[in-house]
Structure 1
């Protein structure tokens, strides 16, 4: 069996290499204070801002040299230092990472609304790649991938403990190329394979539809730079589709929205609030202490609002839901959200790499931290399929011989339900809630003289 040894000279060489990564002042003090050979080590006598643990640095240098000497394949200093940087960030939390130039560019493109890939937001959970949400109208959504699905393999390569940025790079690629994912879904005992064809992902951030007369639907798939402006145009289009009449209710759908830009979330919240705090952040640096306040003017003038969320609603989606819930401006309906209450700052580095690092936590107007908790809906509605029971044949008044005819005018035709609510139970329930609120508002708005003329009878 072969063996090798690491001498104090090797450790000194490793420490010398490390000093190249430090500022000149720290490097010179580190070299001057480095113990030689068997001299007892202690922490360096440096200013508190630069206090470095020398024992840990010596261990790092020793590991560095052992890898260079004995690893089965040669590894360059540059590779080892890059692995060390990645390890530092991966060890912090699931959302901090060191990004290659390609990954950094792709992240920038995704905030603009166009990139190549599958169309899923993923995170690390206990070493597993877990889907936060599929993005609307993408290969992932078309393949039926769901929030909380775990990716076990990517083209046959085990994905457990794979760095997040490396997994993202593996799944992105030229449009038209295929990729196979092995998926473990909660509730299923066996994994299954899904083959997807990569596409240029052009995210349509905002969609809208008039579900029924006076009730609108606004879907936000992701928060991008232009999302608030697109939402304002959508609200104007909904009023125009409603024959120019103001809406009497709006459903804001944030399900499977993985988040996006913090400013866009604040701007969307501002559309529906008259005033007050939207969200605030707290971090260690002064520039991470931010507060977002609503400007005057609710675009819906207080019209009832229902916000739909689920476990795929994360980050910026939770900011909007939390702000509207704290201000009692909306009814939050659906299931508990994802629970990502942290803010990441994207920093370009001088080697074209990028640094994504968690720098703050955000809080709702009432001071609630969403981190690891999520937004709890006011009305819980789980995604489900509803099967109508066949009603047995029964006799009604109109079936009786010599029944009296109704002398009133025929009732106006009821609007046909929107196709958007068919098979979507939470959306169907949200629509029913708004219809009920509209009926209540209409009856409450009756003049006293008109209300007193309603028929009554005594007993």
Structure 2
């Protein structure tokens, strides 16, 4: 499908007609194909923009003064491009003028293979903020965390850089090392983290059984194929279990977002009907509604969605849709709160503008922008430590105890083998325990009937 705006093809990101909901920019050089949108509604850009004469005179005056007196000679092209950058960057943190390298990286953002550090970043108070480190990447392995503020890249202070400048500096030849100087909540002084650049392949969907009957699906990022891969993963879990699941955990913690259509497809896979998400903007084509079709791949199994402050945009669409339809319990901490839509409008083959054109809303009409999704049950990260000591002394330990008649259970047999991943992850353990509790109540209710 193609969309023409005054003779130019437009690619839409962040939710305006099937496309991307990533928060900010990758510190990477991503690779994928460009995405196309559908035809515009008639008359959407018919009104011509007019500029006050006095403002044009002021612009011309500043332009002339710079050309005449700046300490170094500056080309007309550089001045005009700088003016365009200023117009867009002054609107909000997500609008930007895309030069060839940034435009290429943005077009190449959905296959999940790229070179760089492996972090999703945005700007906050003039510094680069880590929205989320991507799973299994150099940044995550080096210890970079969601919420970190990067104040220096190598020896260069970040203050004064644009987001695109910072991202460009974070890219580089695989195998080279970049030192990030970071401010982190709870730390009184900056910390330095060395990250080795690499070619990174992001696997969108990871799934497994946590325990018999209880499935786990981790969505690291919403890519082109995520919706279909999600359905395949659920079907494989059901087949491995030999029947319907007793419970399902969907983990979108530290998922910075991605393709809107992938979030819609993933939500649709679990909803039989109703609105999934809608967008509202000033022009007709930015007002969209996405509805679910019949069919629930999980066959009604109880669901917990895990979120945190690194869950942004498309992740929030999924969590919000399942929460509003009461299809899942949302657990964790409040999500990031990126609820705006960006449109990418090519200016020529190598340049484009990315501009915020709409907000999106959950089925119940909630705006996520700057608020995020509040979990139904707040569970903060915690470190679980095992209490020292052996198994408890019990009746079966007593010499000469009365026999049960069905055979005794030794104290050591009562200890489960445990799951190291669940033991380390308090939020995941809490989600699993909730599903088990719901299962117990359901079975008791069935017996009572």
Superposition TM-score tier, normalisation by shorter sequence: 0.7 to 0.9
Alpha-carbon separation, structure 2, partners of 1:250 and 1:48: 50
Q: Counterpart of 2:161?
A: 162
Q: Counterpart of 1:119?
A: 118
User: Where in structure 2 are the equivalents of 1:110-259 lying within 5 Å?
Assistant: 110-242=109-241, 244-259=242-257
Contact 1:213 1:415 in 2 (8 A): no
Contact 1:281 1:291 in 2 (8 A): yes
Task: Give the 3 Å change call, closer, same or farther, for CA 268–124 of structure 1 in structure 2.
Answer: same
Larger Rg: 1
Query: Is 1:339 paired with 2:337?
Result: yes
Q: Deviations for 1:347-398, whole angstroms, at most 9, x for unmatched residues?
A: 2221411222111100000000010000000110111102233358865322
Alpha-carbon separation, structure 2, partners of 1:140 and 1:228: 26
Where relative contact order (Cα < 8 A, 6+ residues apart) is larger, the structure is 2
Alpha-carbon separation, structure 1, partners of 2:401 and 2:414: 23
Q: Counterpart of 2:37?
A: none
User: Where in structure 2 are the equivalents of 1:400-415 lying within 5 Å?
Assistant: 400-409=398-407
Q: Counterpart of 1:421?
A: 422
SS in 2 for 1:345: strand
Alpha-carbon separation, structure 1, partners of 2:443 and 2:309: 35
**Offset of 1:161 from its aligned partner?**
3.2
Query: Is 1:64 paired with 2:63?
Result: yes
Task: Give the 3 Å change call, closer, same or farther, for CA 429–238 of structure 1 in structure 2.
Answer: same
SS in 1 for 2:428: helix
User: Where in structure 2 are the equivalents of 1:16-95 lying within 5 Å?
Assistant: 49-95=48-94
Q: Counterpart of 2:368?
A: 370
Alpha-carbon separation, structure 2, partners of 1:364 and 1:426: 24
Contact 1:212 1:415 in 2 (8 A): no
Alpha-carbon separation, structure 2, partners of 1:52 and 1:346: 23
Alpha-carbon separation, structure 2, partners of 1:317 and 1:73: 47
**Aligned-pair RMSD on alpha carbons?**
2.1
**Offset of 1:416 from its aligned partner?**
3.9
Q: Deviations for 1:20-39, whole angstroms, at most 9, x for unmatched residues?
A: xx99xxxxxxxxxxxxxxxx
Q: Counterpart of 1:430?
A: 431
**Offset of 1:122 from its aligned partner?**
0.6
User: Where in structure 2 are the equivalents of 1:434-453 lying within 5 Å?
Assistant: 434-446=435-447, 448=449
> How many aligned residue pairs are there?
403
SS in 1 for 2:108: helix
Q: Counterpart of 1:294?
A: 292
Contact 2:244 2:299 in 1 (8 A): no
Contact 2:309 2:333 in 1 (8 A): yes
Q: Deviations for 1:69-124, whole angstroms, at most 9, x for unmatched residues?
A: 22222111101111111111111111111112122111222212111111111111
Unaligned segments of structure 1, at least 5 residues? 1-21, 24-46, 449-459
Alpha-carbon separation, structure 2, partners of 1:247 and 1:332: 18
Contact 1:211 1:417 in 2 (8 A): no
Q: Deviations for 1:96-154, whole angstroms, at most 9, x for unmatched residues?
A: 11112122111222212111111111111122210100100111111111111001011
**Offset of 1:185 from its aligned partner?**
0.7
Q: Counterpart of 2:11?
A: none
User: Where in structure 2 are the equivalents of 1:294-333 lying within 5 Å?
Assistant: 294-333=292-331
SS in 2 for 1:124: strand
Task: Give the 3 Å change call, closer, same or farther, for CA 373–402 of structure 1 in structure 2.
Answer: same
Task: Give the 3 Å change call, closer, same or farther, for CA 440–360 of structure 1 in structure 2.
Answer: same
Alpha-carbon separation, structure 1, partners of 2:415 and 2:435: 16
Alpha-carbon separation, structure 2, partners of 1:446 and 1:148: 48
- After TM superposition, the structure 1 stretch with the greater mean CA deviation from structure 2, 353-362 or 329-338, is 353-362
